[in-house]
Structure 1
């Protein structure tokens, strides 16, 4: 009896000890798994940041430092490239950030989620600002990698992040940031808790009967349990080793996928950038398929993708290394002995063969034309080939080889400086409106004003539109200028009786955001029945459906439409007939010499007769003298505008 009691006590103690031991093992394994998750997460962040540098990295930021203006098209290319890589790398966001001259954090590129790409909401674009964030500042200023493990939350969510600073050869410092969603980390942690709890419970209940069966001797039972635990530990180590192998294989697979274009299976831009780092002379050609968007629109995306794959195989048939740069652009890489290599002749033969290649689509034949930009040398070949490609398109040549004189570095610096000045002018209310009178030709009385934008520099210099609008058009600033002009003009004339006109570009008309702003402003200021929107014929008519819809919307509000600069270059009466316009402004090239050029008078007379037949009023521009004003009146033009009646100048917000 006494022995039985002692045995029961021993067994109870053994079971209690085993239970505590199982719990300790479970917690220990749980914390080891959590540490492994943290380590894997940090390694994933660092790997993604290092690989992303090959997508948007030193070359891109060197170009920014040199003053290059990043177009919306190039910005969207970077967004799509980073978004694809972020998806492959299983991270939430990848982005690059710089610190501008005003110590403001600015995005130079960023990935986006599919929803953000579709809706445009929370979509980060080039040079968007980010709130002051000390850890980013620390990384940029110290040059050291900074991990952000505080799980801070911003408008995009709660993330674990890494900030890796890089410095280009030109001395520009930028930050490569990578975010992992904390929700994913929490899910993995919960899964680990549940897994370890289940393991502990299963282990306990699996081994507990063994204790009860081996009552004869506690130490013997304990020894066997230790053997089982050692075996289980060995199996766990074996499983962990296999898991590490699988992780390594998956990482290698992701790295390989990051260097291959999935559609054509050609090396991609990242691989090209790595290959271009090889020393020595090289030659590359950017091959762009002309008007490929029309192929997609006509045949559909699926057929378009099929053609791209066939085109890629055709390029490979030349037995040179071929890359897919993006969309309908490919790169051919050729090693050359020196700058005198006959690479241009070789590429011209290739282009001829590409033009002769016939593609069969549902029994129909299709030929593709290409435009090629070539660069030969050792450094910056991709940028140089891109400049050559753009020049080839502008001059309608099949092939252009880059030359040093094509460099736009100085122009880019000017653009960057001026774009910064425009941005500051918008922030400082130095974008202002001048107004030039438009008089009734018969009476000479002022009936309307044309709104003309000006920019006041910090030193008081006033810039005309031609000095800054072309630069603004290459950035988001152009839309902001349009909105500021609309706002100022409507506020000026809300308490004045005259009519007034505002110039709009095709870009303004095609922007739903700008159109909504216009509608809201003319309704709020009650100026819809006095405003005239002037549309430049050469810009807008080619987008007939969109322009027609815009005209209808504005005329429903009571606004009027004018076609500006009619008669400059090639003008089409057919274009005007397609649109229900209220005014036709006759270009100054026909008016300035109308008092002594009979041929100009004949052309103007034809425009007047045409306008009268369609019920539109006419306005003569550049009326600079009394003889011209008299001739305009004699011909029967309805309104006159020019220095003879008044120069552009500011107006008070009410008529005195």
Structure 2
């Protein structure tokens, strides 16, 4: 099988690099029997096997064979030891690193791991190589200890000098994680000044050595200080390359005896010199990595605090903060685009949230394609996005239309399916001096909601003075009032009787729980607007929890009153009906209560049932197993289909009050009431006429066979305490 050209080219390049390091090391040898003080090839081979894998250790014997054939002949008896010591030690060190951690990063922990592997390489290579020197007669047995120490330190020095920078460079190639090798805090002028200063310091060491100064080597503190400067201010790669230059320069001066310096003559001199060079190669690199790690952590924390983790766009809080700044300082036209995906919940329910996340990322990519990087773009919620555009009305409108078309055309493959979606967009515009961000967002959100109500897949521009915008703003204020009233428990339970038209009984036997709330001034008010706002802003389940809990608490605290109750009706909103958490909560609350569950009747609307029949049926089934009864509220105003009633296990049909009020002058209303009553009796259900106001209406209801009635003709709603204290007339 043919070897790929890229593999051959890499093999040649890496082998040549290892060979060059070995050639450099030969400059330190006075005789063939010497042990070099600096073995750069150890760092090359180590970096190669760590980065590319253990199989690439083949470059070591290839380069060593080339070295001994062309540059450094050795006795035949030593050749296997030379090749084997470097190859086996590099292989073992690479295996050790891969066994500890497969993916390496620019971190202190990984740096220490590489250092441990480098020491292992040096010890193993020195042990095998020293035995070879003695066996081949190149080193007297008495000098084996000296050879072992120098060989080990030479390999370690080569690894600490070259391995970090080569690992960083190799890691930038195909398929490898791309480490950030640029950056740092220094300007180009500072880097030039630093480089000139380093060159002067190295020249000063050379001149001092040439002058015969005994303390010339003490000037090594000057380049070391500059290396520390580089570690703090520059990128890790630049600090590592500078470290290589300084170590090679100092090792050549002292190891070869250039510039007036004397070669180390004893083992102690050599060991001290090599340990000094190792420290010079390690300290700046470790400091640079530590500084880089801290910067990376700070950047990661900043990104986590400001960006949405799924899409990489700004998160809501950061977007609002920067948008407020731009509105405060901007002097041109601005447009706020607010986007909400249509029916996105269906994607999560039909596939999975993982699929939904893929679709969200696809939409985010469309935003990045449409808008420049200078435009503020954010994911503000689960399926909601926003963008603040420094653009005219016409330009912003054109961008919104292109975005709508791109989302409509978006296709995201998911397993055997293709995910699609559409969006609704609201636009709000402003000129300097700009309105505050909350007002602009309110207008854009209102326009987006209106677009969604019209069927979605469209864009609407906000008109702040329109009736629709004013109604929308009022709804938002009502939602805030709901939340505030819930937090401060300012809702009050009221009761209204449901009366048997054939055999009336005390009103406390059968009644409906109604809700009132007290405003900031203490005035009791009807909750119609608040309930509508609660449903719009997903506060319905929380509001219903409050009503259920307050009702059960009152009955538990008044056992004599609770003993009179046969049916206590409690309304549940459409969002509550499909809320699994509410179902679990209600079941647990009933188990803790001493109120018999068969005395509770849960009222649900016809429209909420038809919206999601399967979930509604599951909820009804679970609650009926606990003993609760059910009433279908406002029947006749929704889809009014009798077909699903046979499968819907409810006890009462509550005829909407609009038909009851029109009984006296509308044949159509009478026909609707009669039809509902007849169908209910066929299905063995009972009917309740809502909003009965006159005796004449009651007479007609009795003649048509309606079972129960509720309305002002009997009693206005009363606070629950007053309701149970009133006489049973």
Pairwise same-fold verdict (TM > 0.5): yes
- Residues 226, 288 of structure 1: alpha-carbon distance in 2 compared, 3 angstrom cutoff: same
> What pairs up with 1:515-530 in 2 under 5 angstroms?
515=583, 518-519=586-587, 524-530=593-599
Q: Which residue of 2 aligns with 1:385?
A: 444
CA-atom RMSD, angstroms?
Answer: 4.2
Which residue of 1 is the match for residue 611 of structure 2? 542
Give yes or no for contact 1:355–1:368 (8 Å, CA) kept in 2. yes
User: What's the CA shift string for 1:237-266, capped at 9, x where partnerless?
Assistant: 535522343225414652675466565556
Does the 8 Å CA contact 2:498/2:710 hold for their aligned counterparts? Answer: yes
1:376-455 correspondence runs (5 A): 376-377=429-430, 380=437, 384-396=443-455, 398-405=458-465, 406=469, 412=476, 415-416=479-480, 419-424=483-488, 426=489, 431-446=491-506, 448-455=510-517
Indicate the residue corresponding to 1:481 in structure 2. 547
> How far apart in 2 are the matches of 1:230 and 1:363?
63
Verify: 1:335 aligned to 2:390, yes or no: yes
**CA deviation digits over 1:347-406, x for unaligned, max 9?**
334434543556666787665322112233356255653343223223445112233333
Alignment of 1:252-651 (within 5 A): 253-254=299-300, 257-258=303-304, 264=311, 276=323, 277-278=325-326, 279=330, 280-318=332-370, 320-321=372-373, 323=377, 325=379, 326-331=381-386, 334-336=389-391, 339=392, 341-352=394-405, 354-356=407-409, 368-377=421-430, 380=437, 384-396=443-455, 398-405=458-465, 406=469, 412=476, 415-416=479-480, 419-424=483-488, 426=489, 431-446=491-506, 448-456=510-518, 461-466=523-528, 468-470=530-532, 474=537, 475=539, 476=542, 478-489=544-555, 492=558, 493-496=561-564, 498-511=566-579, 514-515=582-583, 518-519=586-587, 524-649=593-718, 650-651=722-723
The 8 Å contact of residues 496 and 654 in structure 1, kept in 2 or not, is answered as no
Contact map agreement 1:284 1:376 (CA 8 A) in 2: yes
Q: 1:444 to 1:262 in 2, by over 3 A?
A: closer
In the TM superposition, residue 581 of structure 1 has moved relative to its aligned partner by 0.9
1:617 and 1:611 map into 2 onto residues whose CA distance is 6
- Matched position secondary structure for 2:716: coil
Q: 1:230 to 1:654 in 2, by over 3 A?
A: farther
Query: Structure 2 length as normaliser, TM-score?
Result: 0.51
Q: CA deviation at 1:567?
A: 1.3
Deviation at 1:464, TM superposition (A): 2.5
Task: Indicate conservation of the 8 Å contact 1:373/1:390, yes or no.
Answer: yes
Change (3 A) 1:653 1:511: farther
- The structure whose residues are more often helix, as a share, is 2
Structure 1 residue matching 2:445: 3-state secondary structure: helix
**TM-score w.r.t. structure 1 length?**
0.56
The alpha-carbon deviation at position 479 of structure 1 amounts to 2.5
Closer/same/farther in 2, CA of residues 359 and 489 from structure 1, 3 Å limit: same
Rg (Cα) greater in structure: 2
1:574 Cα deviation (Å)?
2.9
Mapped pair 1:241 → 2:300 = no
Superposition pairs of residues 111-260 of structure 1, within 5 angstroms: 237-251=283-297, 253-254=299-300, 257-258=303-304
Distance (whole Å) between structure 1 residues aligned to residue 549 and residue 395 of structure 2: 52
Q: State whether residues 479 and 530 of structure 2, in contact with CA within 8 Å, keep that contact through their aligned partners in structure 1.
A: no
Distance 1:599 1:575 in 2: 23
Decide whether aligned partners of structure 1 residues 231 and 433 sit closer, same or farther in structure 2, where only a CA change above 3 A counts: same
Distance 1:404 1:309, change over 3 A: same
Name the CA shift for 1:486/1:513 in 2 (closer, same or farther; >3 Å): farther
- Structure 1: gaps of 5 or more residues: 1-221
Closer/same/farther in 2, CA of residues 225 and 274 from structure 1, 3 Å limit: farther
CA contact (8 A) 1:441 1:637 kept: yes
User: Structure 1 residues 527 and 248, CA, compared in 2 at 3 Å: closer, same or farther?
Assistant: closer
The separation in 2 between residues aligned to 1:318 and 1:497, in whole angstroms, is 63
Deviation at 1:544, TM superposition (A): 2.8
CA contact (8 A) 2:610 2:639 kept: no
Q: 1:356 to 1:434 in 2, by over 3 A?
A: closer
For residues 432 and 269 of structure 1, the distance between their equivalents in structure 2, rounded to whole angstroms, comes to: 35
Counterparts of 1:508 and 1:411, CA distance in 2: 20
* Higher percent of residues as strand: 1
> Counterpart of 1:494 in 2: which secondary structure?
helix
Is the Cα contact below 8 Å between 1:567 and 1:586 reproduced in 2?
A: yes
Counterpart CA distance in 2 for 1:528 and 1:310 is 49
Secondary structure at the aligned position of 1:451 is classed as strand
Gaps of 5+ in 2: 1-267
> Match of 1:371, SS?
strand
Contact map agreement 2:603 2:631 (CA 8 A) in 1 = yes
CA 1:334–1:614 in structure 2 vs 1: closer, same or farther (change >3 Å)?
A: same
Contact 2:366 2:406 in 1 (8 A): no
Q: CA deviation at 1:590?
A: 0.8
SS in 1 for 2:713: coil
Contact persistence 2:478–2:533 (CA under 8 A): no
What SS does the aligned partner of 2:671 have? Answer: helix
* SS class of match (1:651): helix
Q: Find the aligned partners of 1:507 and 1:463 in 2 and give their Cα distance.
A: 23
Structure 2 counterpart SS, 1:452 = strand
SS in 2 for 1:485: helix
Find the aligned partners of 1:514 and 1:270 in 2 and give their Cα distance. Answer: 29
Q: Distance in 2 between matches of 1:262 and 1:297?
A: 22
Give the Cα separation in 1 of the matches to 2:356 and 2:586.
38
